[in-house]
Chain A
Amino acid sequence: MMTLAVLYPWLKALHVAAALVFVGGVSAGALCLSAAPHAAGAQVLAAVLERWDRYVTTPAMLLVWGLGLGLATMGHWFDSGRWLIVKLVLVVLLSGLHGVQSGRLSALRRGAAARPWRAAPTVVVLVAGIAILAVVKPF
């Protein structure tokens, strides 16, 4: 019989793996959309990335949320300080950014004109903030 204590590191590892896949997908989407106004074949690239987004990045994001909330509840992390609340805000911002990118990729695939998009630096800052808060737990 698996206890929660045995299960916890496995769920945490799955959470981290899902987060890495999610961040990879968001970064790829940000780069594709920033290049789209100047690139030939952007519509084909958007179609490929949209499929990746639908079957890999978005499920990874849902896993990150579900496992993250489960781990925080199991580990009583909500009582441990404000770092988790700030981390949650950053994760929500990153997820919102992904939602906007996902819609833009879909529009681009359908043939809409590419609009300027510069989100890659924001993605880097958000991910760095999330990693620092998760590892250092500064407050």
Chain B
Amino acid sequence: MDVINALPPTSDRETDMPPPSPLDALRRLRISCIAEAITLLLLLCVAVPLKHLAGANWAVHLMGPVHGLTFLVHGWLALRTASEANWRGTDTAALLGLALVPFGGFVNAARLSRRIDAQRAEAAR
């Protein structure tokens, strides 16, 4: 327990404190959707053509791992958020599946924006 108590203090460290807003998790997930979509487009539309047309292998060697890491972070956040809020399996599958398709991340971000708006409206009621 000493090691646990040595961790940095947080505003929600005790169970009697208000929990963090579920909207924060959705906002983080939306950012990861956009980042994933941008890195996928940079990989497919910039790095791959540079490799084949100009022989610039470095572009793929740079963007491949960058997109890989971004995709992993997105997938991890998607599973975490879906699991915390107990989403339907189809919603989670769509969030992960669309991330594999160019521009799919932007569709995911738009869907999440609608979900955020709905939750905000519900909280305001």
- Chain A residues at the B interface, C-beta cutoff of 8 Å: 43-44, 47-48, 51-52, 54-56, 61-62, 65-66, 69-70, 73, 92, 95-96, 98-104, 106-107, 109-112
Contact = CB atoms under 8 A, between A and B. Distances in A.
Contacts, number: 71
Interface residues of B, number: 27
Chain A contact residues, majority secondary structure: helix
B28 to A, nearest CB: 12
15 contacts: A47-B15, A51-B7, A69-B65, A73-B65, A92-B72, A99-B75, A99-B76, A99-B83, A102-B83, A102-B84, A103-B79, A103-B82, A103-B83, A106-B84, A112-B86
B97 interface: no
Contact of A48 (B4, B8, B19, B65): B4
Residue in B78, B79, B82 whose Cβ sees the most chain A Cβ within 10 Å: B79
Given A47-B15, A110-B19, A55 B7 contact: yes
Contact of A100 (B10, B65, B73, B80): B80
